[in-house]
Structure 1
Amino acid sequence: MRVWQALVLVVVLLGWHLATRNPQAAFFFGEPLKVAVRIWQWFTVGAGTLEVGTGETTWFTINFPAEIYPHLLVTLTETLLAFVIGTALALVVGLWLALSPLASAILDPYIKAANSMPRVILAPIFAMWFGLGIWSKVALAVTLVFFIVFFNVYQGVKEVSPVVLANARMLGANARQLLRSVYLPSATSWVFSSLHTSVGLAFVGAIVGEYLGSARGVGYLILQAEGTFDINTVFAGIVVLTLFALVLDGLVGLAEKRLMKWQPKSGETEKL
């Protein structure tokens, strides 16, 4: 299977290379070799610095050996903060509304309205509220992550078997024990299925925020390249972001395997 997957990648890259041998096509679609060279230069050539602080006060300065690192650190920081904050908020609100039918009924139209809103248009508002630092990007990305995880948590709790709940209550389980031993395990599989999608959305929020106003970040590098019609640098930024998104998704997958050991595999279920 790995060989076939690698072969698909080779075929795509070879097709891209052959299709862009024409200078006109290369102008619009870039060249894979030049994209690879640009990524190599980002990580090996040039030096960069990142000043950490608030406003006009600088707490400390980080020196990096190559150009991409300060930009990559900013984007990854925004993404991870948005991912963690959005997931935590979604877990709390999802559990609360799933276990409180009255609150759920009251807030239902407002949640649907907020979810239907194209949240990218909130970016200028967040820039006014939080400034052009990382927090405006984090706020935008949180709005993208929150609803994906929230609806999965809500549905996971609602899908708890009434028989399991009745048996747990007959055994004397209190509300806290029901939450820990019944509701949370039921929602966990739903949560992890949403986290894989949320990883990409956290990156989307961070990059869109950097597009609209930033002096640091991979999105800033891509925006500068677009302004000079440097398509190879644009593709280099896309490749770098994709690779790190895959790394973060892989970490989520490892956490899922570790926390979901209690869940039987498909083969084991068939044997049972």
Structure 2
Amino acid sequence: MRKAGVSRDILIWRALLLVGFLVFWELSVHRGWIDRFFVSQPSLLWRQTRDWIVSGYVFRHLWVTMEEMLLGFLAGTLLGILVGFLFAFMPRVARIFDPLMVLLNALPRVVVAPLFVLWFGLGLLSKVVMAVSLVFFVVFFSTYTGLREVDRDIVNNARILGGSRRDLIRHVYVPSAMTWIFSSLRTSIGFALIGAVVGEYLGASEGMGWVIAYAEAQFNSTQVIAGLFVLMAVVAVMDFGLKRLEEHFSHWKPS
């Protein structure tokens, strides 16, 4: 069976739209329609990114941000899945703590971020905690919802056939929740990066968040936008990997 994927026509349209946008941007700056000081221009962004890559400058800072992002992503994902399963299989616990989860999720992270810096310092830990606080709730609510949406007829039939609690978790609940979990992972990887960058932006001496904050203080729009493009490229690569991983486990999805 042929796997679903992006058709060649869609890829061509995406490429044309991207090229058209960049050409219009470059032409608008060149003709004076928009001010280079505020939005830079693609040719300058290309030269800036190339210089960063050749000198190795971007890799040193990107490695720091990637470490914070991946640690926060993994920790937040594991905690979200574990607590989601806990709530699903212990309804009394869910009823007690559900309002608390809703309230904690409603807290604006940008406002709480300075507290994380105050509590955990300017080092790695505060950035990881910031990323975890964003990833955890996305994965938790998706896992919890996925487990609650399991077809009760399938559960009852499995029990009639002699399935134990362990069998139900392995063959019924986990396959049902996998679709929800993978969907949340592709969303939460971006949130993990946001958490790491915001933490660096508030207080750090290295990392892409620091690079962007320093460039902003120098009113250097080229470096600011180049830094943002680097982060966008990282998320695109991570999302591609998660999509391939989801396709690999697609046989677990209920038909």
- TM-score by length of structure 2 reads 0.93
- Cα deviation for residue 205 of structure 1 reads 0.4
Q: Is the 8 A contact 1:120 1:140 kept in 2?
A: no
Q: Is the 8 A contact 2:135 2:191 kept in 1?
A: yes
| Residue of 247, 250, 253 corresponding to 1:257 | 247
**Quick check: 1:80 aligned with 2:90?**
no
* Counterpart amino acid of residue 209 in structure 2: G
**Quick check: 1:245 aligned with 2:215?**
no
* Counterpart amino acid of residue 240 in structure 1: V
Matches within 5 A, 1:86-165: 86-165=76-155
Q: Which residue of 2 aligns with 1:35?
A: 45
* Counterpart amino acid of residue 156 in structure 1: G
| Residue of 206, 210, 219 corresponding to 1:220 | 210
- Cα deviation for residue 263 of structure 1 reads 3.5
Q: Find the aligned partners of 1:191 and 1:169 in 2 and give their Cα distance.
A: 25
Q: Which residue of 2 aligns with 1:186?
A: 176
Runs of 4+ off more than 6 Å: none
* Counterpart amino acid of residue 157 in structure 2: N
Q: Find the aligned partners of 2:138 and 2:28 in 1 and give their Cα distance.
A: 38
Q: Is the 8 A contact 1:148 1:194 kept in 2?
A: yes
- Cα deviation for residue 243 of structure 1 reads 0.3
Q: Identity, % of aligned pairs? A: 42
| Residue of 4, 19, 44 corresponding to 2:13 | 4
Q: Is the 8 A contact 1:79 1:203 kept in 2?
A: yes
Consecutive unaligned residues in structure 1, runs of 5 or more:
46-65
Bigger RCO (CA 8 Å, 6+ sep)? 2
- C-alpha distance 223-23 of structure 1, shift in aligned 2 (>3 A): farther
- Cα deviation for residue 126 of structure 1 reads 1.5
Q: Which residue of 2 aligns with 1:63?
A: none
Q: Find the aligned partners of 1:6 and 1:166 in 2 and give their Cα distance.
A: 50
Consecutive unaligned residues in structure 2, runs of 5 or more:
1-8
| Residue of 158, 161, 166 corresponding to 1:168 | 158
* Counterpart amino acid of residue 8 in structure 1: L
Q: Find the aligned partners of 1:165 and 1:23 in 2 and give their Cα distance.
A: 63
Count of aligned pairs = 245
- Cα deviation for residue 120 of structure 1 reads 2.1
Q: Find the aligned partners of 1:24 and 1:9 in 2 and give their Cα distance.
A: 19
- Cα deviation for residue 262 of structure 1 reads 4.0
> CA offsets per residue over residues 211-242 of structure 1, 9 Å max, x none?
00000101101111000110000110011000
Q: Find the aligned partners of 2:106 and 2:18 in 1 and give their Cα distance.
A: 36
**Quick check: 1:207 aligned with 2:217?**
no
- Cα deviation for residue 24 of structure 1 reads 6.2
Q: Find the aligned partners of 2:253 and 2:155 in 1 and give their Cα distance.
A: 18
Q: Find the aligned partners of 1:130 and 1:158 in 2 and give their Cα distance.
A: 36
Q: Find the aligned partners of 1:116 and 1:239 in 2 and give their Cα distance.
A: 29
